[in-house]
Structure 1
């Protein structure tokens, strides 16, 4: 009778333990890593240029709105660039977040056709952010840095081999107060 009671007791204990919900990871690591990108938060305005597919350079004025969402776990970036005529030339919408381990950064930009890509990103230090995308015929990277005078400076580049880079985009923005 004792072995039956012991087995029944173990079975009930095992069932109770397995029925407990898993312990949810705390977002501390995610919050800490994404906090490095806090320098982007706010509304920014300025100018820039983009090299279009036809090789034509277009100047634009840009506005970027950057806000933290979901308690600081996701960074939302929303930007519009317009020609002097007011015509929309560059539109950016992206989200940025870290995995629960705080090591893997996900940058997801969307385009005007509703498509998105998952790009590798990193925030190696406060005031610096970079995202890269491997393409069938090369690689694109964008680097955003905070200048000593507090401006958002962004450069977009393309490389066929990952060694020689050609600038395809540049803008400088000032925080709107």
Structure 2
């Protein structure tokens, strides 16, 4: 019981220190926090966030289809794909759950990913955060009528994914650039149809 008390006391001290740490300051053993504008509940404009998120209605639904990708070795791999896109947190967040299966053996999962999209009414930007293969990607996407595009810069390479939607279709291409975005080569394509 004494050990539990000490553990709880230590935990509460860490929580108190973390809650009081200024943005951009890292506690020992933690990564520095990015400086974000401090907001209060009174300063949030939830109706404008909801309105911005509704501009992504075209994405919401259950999707199935297939696609292909070019691997690092240059081989083309084909896959079956499902995507479940839905509103969360009262419509303030959209979650995307993707599952890719080997076309030759659909029992074998070749890729899974999870992503969230939200809108920051203070910066007036959408935020795309995805989780796949142990990586976390956070970027500001470009949203247009029935389109969604996000770009990732990694050392020596730029990756760009462009999604185009109709009422019943989702067409996505992935491209890679080795010259800072001057020229692009397609290395991915996915074509899905909406189930509901």
Shared fold (TM-score, shorter chain, > 0.5):
yes
DSSP-derived class of the 1:101 partner: coil
Q: What's the TM-score, normalizing by structure 2?
A: 0.73
- 2:88 and 2:47 map into 1 onto residues whose CA distance is 15
Equivalent runs, 1:1-177 vs 2, <5 Å: 23-84=42-103, 85-86=105-106, 87-101=108-122, 103-113=124-134, 115-125=135-145, 127-147=146-166, 150-160=168-178, 161-177=180-196
Q: Which deviations, in whole Å up to 9, do the C-alpha atoms of 1:94-124 show, x marking residues without a partner? A: 11111123621111110132x3111220212
Instruction: State which structure, 1 or 2, has the greater radius of gyration over its C-alpha atoms.
Output: 1
DSSP-derived class of the 1:163 partner: coil
DSSP-derived class of the 2:50 partner: helix
Work out which structure has the larger RCO, using CA pairs closer than 8 Å and 6 or more positions apart in sequence.
1
- 1:76 and 1:102 map into 2 onto residues whose CA distance is 21
Runs of 4+ deviating beyond 6 Å:
none
- 1:134 and 1:168 map into 2 onto residues whose CA distance is 16
DSSP-derived class of the 1:143 partner: strand
Unaligned runs of 5+ in 2: 1-39
